[in-house]
């Protein structure tokens, strides 16, 4: 027996991927409205973001387990209002304003039962392994759906849903950032990089934000960085970092991967420094001198995705105004191709949000 907020139409507007290969295969269409399973809720979507994750999915890079069933609905981080709840749903009700955590952990593997569900062995993603939120309705397991704090709008909730929990899991839970740290964040104007800048500041660290281009470093200044590096203007930037932090940085946060930036950044690490990495789209193969690694006693930590605990904490921090969601633009759902064009041209400073319905 399902509980409903109002009658749900049998069909819905959506933007779908019709074939692998990129944004040329995104098309507005009409689909049957999904039916939520017993442990799922059906959300009437208000906003969803265009993310790099969607681009990976479009090219077939994100889901290697099974081919996508076309037409596929992208969109990992929808926010909206619950329209229906399945029979075993207990925590949420029709009418609740909610946002979706993109990665779905299994709840039963050793990592999940140990509270490290970001490392779940059976992860699935909304909009990747199942239909996503670039549609008027999306069905999502209750455990991945969270109430939006009253102080946040739908677009703001979508804007923090992916990048901030990923950054929090990385800098707090994996790299243990704290007040004694001097942190170098590269790609500091990117979605995860800019979240890492805000969170490292929140945890009391000194933050050196590095990015390519004056407009990107200006943005990093706006979100609270203590020192700025423009590696487009000065590719040999290690001396600039060391002028600000003469003892070296204790933590280097790499969210994109760039072999030249990596090489220069390692020169800035203090003895017993840590490096944490959560992305490689800028170039995954980098140099590493093992002699330097052991002599400098450096720790390198990989991080991917986010835990349920980090997700809840980010929502609370955003609700209290302690981190600021970054929105570049809000476009109607049907302009999804334009949103991805801006993202792929790296012209955005903050999230590209799609509005599915007003409200
Ligand atoms: Zn698991």
226 CA distance to ligand 1 centroid (A)?
A: 38
List, in order, residues 6 or more apart from 334 with CB less than 8 Å away.
15, 28
Sheet holding 249-254, edge to edge: 227-230, 206-211, 182-185, 249-254, 269-277, 299-302
* Domain extent listing, the chain: 3-152+325-355, 165-302
Return the structure tokens found at 193.
């990089």
- Pairing assessment for the beta strands 124-125 and 137-141 based on DSSP bridges: unpaired
- Global model pTM greater than 0.85: yes
329 CA distance to ligand 1 centroid (A)?
A: 35
What does the DSSP assignment read for 148-163? Answer: PPTT--HHHHHHHHTH
pLDDT in tens, the chain (359 residues): 577 767 899 999 999 999 999 999 999 999 999 999 999 999 999 999 999 999 999 999 886 777 889 999 999 999 999 999 999 999 999 999 999 999 999 999 999 999 999 999 999 999 999 999 999 999 999 999 999 999 999 999 999 999 999 999 999 999 999 999 999 999 999 999 999 999 999 999 999 999 999 999 999 999 999 999 999 999 999 999 999 999 999 999 999 999 999 999 999 999 999 999 999 988 899 999 999 999 999 999 999 999 999 999 999 999 999 999 989 999 999 999 999 999 999 889 889 999 999 87
120 CA distance to ligand 1 centroid (A)?
A: 4
CATH class of 165-302: alpha beta
218 CA distance to ligand 1 centroid (A)?
A: 40
42 CA distance to ligand 1 centroid (A)?
A: 23
335 CA distance to ligand 1 centroid (A)?
A: 36
Identify the three-state secondary structure at position 221: helix
106 CA distance to ligand 1 centroid (A)?
A: 4
309 CA distance to ligand 1 centroid (A)?
A: 14
Query: Superfamily for 3-152+325-355?
Result: Medium-chain alcohol dehydrogenases, catalytic domain (3.90.180.10)
> Interior CA angle at 78 toward 74 and 80, to 5°?
140
109 CA distance to ligand 1 centroid (A)?
A: 4
Domains 3-152+325-355 and 165-302 fall in the same CATH topology: yes
């Amino acid at each position: 027996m399902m509980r409903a907020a109002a009658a749900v139409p049998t069909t819905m507007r959506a933007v779908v991927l019709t074939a692998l290969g990129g944004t040329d295969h995104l098309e507005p269409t009409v689909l049957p409205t999904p039916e939520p399973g017993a442990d799922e809720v059906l959300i009437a979507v208000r906003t969803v973001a265009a993310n790099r994750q969607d681009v990976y999915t479009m090219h077939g890079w994100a889901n290697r387990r099974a081919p996508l069933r076309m037409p596929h609905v992208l969109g990992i981080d929808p926010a909206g209002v619950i329209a229906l709840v399945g029979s075993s749903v207990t925590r949420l009700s029709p009418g609740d304003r909610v946002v979706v955590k993109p990665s779905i952990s299994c709840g039963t593997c050793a990592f999940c039962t140990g509270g490290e569900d970001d490392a779940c062995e059976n992860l699935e993603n909304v909009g990747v392994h199942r239909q996503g939120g670039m549609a008027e309705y999306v069905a999502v397991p209750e455990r991945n759906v969270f109430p939006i704090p009253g102080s946040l709008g739908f677009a703001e909730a979508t804007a923090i849903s992916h990048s901030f929990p990923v950054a929090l899991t990385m800098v707090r839970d994996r790299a243990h950032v704290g007040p004694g740290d001097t942190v170098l964040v590269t790609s500091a104007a990117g979605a995860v990089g800019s979240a890492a800048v805000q969170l490292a500041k929140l945890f009391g660290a000194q933050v050196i934000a590095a990015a390519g281009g004056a407009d990107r470093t200006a943005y990093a200044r706006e979100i609270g960085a203590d020192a700025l590096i423009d590696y487009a203007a000065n590719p040999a930037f290690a001396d600039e970092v060391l002028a600000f932090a003469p003892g070296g940085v204790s933590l280097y946060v790499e969210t994109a991967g760039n072999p030249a930036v990596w090489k220069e950044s390692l020169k800035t690490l203090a003895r017993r420094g840590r490096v944490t990495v959560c992305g490689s789209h800028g170039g995954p193969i980098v140099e590493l001198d093992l002699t330097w690694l052991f002599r400098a006693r450096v720790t390198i930590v990989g991080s991917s995705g986010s835990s349920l605990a980090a997700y809840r904490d980010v929502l609370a921090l955003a609700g209290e105004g302690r981190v600021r969601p970054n929105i570049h633009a809000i476009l109607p759902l049907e302009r999804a191709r334009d949103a991805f064009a801006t993202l792929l041209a790296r012209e955005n400073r903050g999230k590209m949000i799609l509005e599915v319905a007003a409200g």
